[in-house]
Amino acid sequence: MSFSVTILGSSSAIPTSKRFLTAQLVNHDERFFLIDCGEGTQIQLRKYKKKIARINHIFISHLHGDHIFGLFGLLSTFSMLGRRNQLHIYSDPILKKLLTEHLDFFQKEINYPIIYHPISSKKSQIIYDDGKLEVSTIPLLHRVPCVGFLFREKQKPCNVRKELIGFYNLGIKDILKLKNGEDYLKDNGEKIANEILTIAPPPAKSFAYCTDTKAKESILKYINKIDLLYHEATFQDEDKELAKKTFHSTATQAANLALKANVKKLVIGHFSSRYKKEINFLNEAASIFPNTLLAEDGIEIEI
């Protein structure tokens, strides 16, 4: 089952010649979830050959322009491509008002329903659950209400060994019990241990997206031991005062959170365009948390 995230934009505030503004596309089992939608997101989706029409859920972290100015064009393009599917947008409730006013002027003939799901930034909420994947919010600390998103696969049940189904003449009820973790009781009372008859399922994977935010340890409980953490690193350590003042994080701070949370891999992004040597973001973070990756537009990371 596929579970990956593609970086569509990794610059903060202002695009650069190499980096578009923030957006990421999560693919879970060929269902596609867009996180944030900076200007040019629809252009990146095309460039990286993503199927725009299959995005049915858009999660918006906060209402700063560099995270949402691509929504206007994307919603318009959906309409021009003849979309009929519902589109679900999860965001600060004010976005509904902004987008409604906008659509009233620019896109009167929108031909698909938009379902708005209001998000509170005060406490974590489960905002999506399709039985295979759950998405919940992570309260962050920025200049405006802001949340991160935690994508967590549901633990799949174990699989019963096919070759033993016939051998023990297992029925559907037996199989369901085995999948439920129970042992198998033969008609003669003999017990066959669950682990003999089953194969452990692949581990459930998890991904957290945390931007924009001042580095805060209160997120540790959400990201503990997850497979992949995307955390913003707008600034380098030399500018930690600026990070504090603007409610952003440094690469050092992001790496320290990854270390404390025991995550498997860290990706840092949302880089300020002020730095000439981007490699210093990586050097700084990897000296604390070695399994760090620098976000680059277009890379797809398996979770």
Beta bridge partners of 11: 21, 271
Tell me how far apart the alpha carbons of residues 249 and 12 are, in angstroms, rounded to a whole number: 12
Residue from 5, 28, 34, 40 binding its own copies (CB under 8 A): 40
Q: Distances in Å between the alpha carbon of 29 and those of 132, 136, 246, 303?
A: 9, 18, 37, 12
Tell me how far apart the alpha carbons of residues 5 and 51 are, in angstroms, rounded to a whole number: 14
Residue from 8, 33, 39, 235 binding its own copies (CB under 8 A): 39
Tell me how far apart the alpha carbons of residues 254 and 238 are, in angstroms, rounded to a whole number: 14
Exposed / middle / buried, residue 91 (Cβ in 10 Å: 0-12, 13-18, 19+): buried
Q: Output the smallest distance, CB 93 to its own copies, in A.
A: 14
Nearest to its own copies of 64, 214 (CB atom)? 64
Nearest to its own copies of 72, 209 (CB atom)? 72
Exposed / middle / buried, residue 48 (Cβ in 10 Å: 0-12, 13-18, 19+): middle
Classified as helix, coil or strand, 89 is strand
Residue 66 near its own copies by CB under 8 A? yes
Tell me how far apart the alpha carbons of residues 111 and 84 are, in angstroms, rounded to a whole number: 6
Residue 46 near its own copies by CB under 8 A? yes
Q: Output the smallest distance, CB 2 to its own copies, in A.
A: 23
Residue 81 near its own copies by CB under 8 A? yes
Tell me how far apart the alpha carbons of residues 117 and 173 are, in angstroms, rounded to a whole number: 39
Q: Output the smallest distance, CB 294 to its own copies, in A.
A: 20
- Going residue by residue from 95 to 134, which x/- string records binding to its own copies, judged by CB under 8 A? ---x--x---xxx---------------------------
Verify whether residue 183 is a known catalytic residue: no
| R_g over Cα of the chain | 22
Nearest to its own copies of 68, 208 (CB atom)? 68
Q: Angle CA(139)–CA(145)–CA(151) in degrees, nearest 5?
A: 40
The single residue of 36, 66, 92, 297 carrying the catalytic annotation is 66
Residue 17 near its own copies by CB under 8 A? yes
Q: Output the smallest distance, CB 273 to its own copies, in A.
A: 9
Residue 43 near its own copies by CB under 8 A? yes
Nearest to its own copies of 25, 257 (CB atom)? 25
Nearest to its own copies of 72, 184 (CB atom)? 72
Residue 188 near its own copies by CB under 8 A? no
Residue 145 near its own copies by CB under 8 A? no
Q: Output the smallest distance, CB 22 to its own copies, in A.
A: 12
Spatial contact of 251 and 259, defined as CB atoms under 8 Å apart: no
Q: Output the smallest distance, CB 38 to its own copies, in A.
A: 8
Tell me how far apart the alpha carbons of residues 255 and 291 are, in angstroms, rounded to a whole number: 9
Tell me how far apart the alpha carbons of residues 185 and 191 are, in angstroms, rounded to a whole number: 5
Residue from 20, 90, 151, 230 binding its own copies (CB under 8 A): 20
β-pair type (133-139, 147-153): antiparallel
Among 244, 241, 235, which residue's Cα sits nearest to residue 216? 244
- State the residues that interact with its own copies by CB under 8 A: 13-17, 20-21, 39-40, 42-43, 46-47, 63-66, 69-70, 72-73, 76-77, 80-81, 98, 101, 105-107
Q: What residues are labeled active site? A: 66
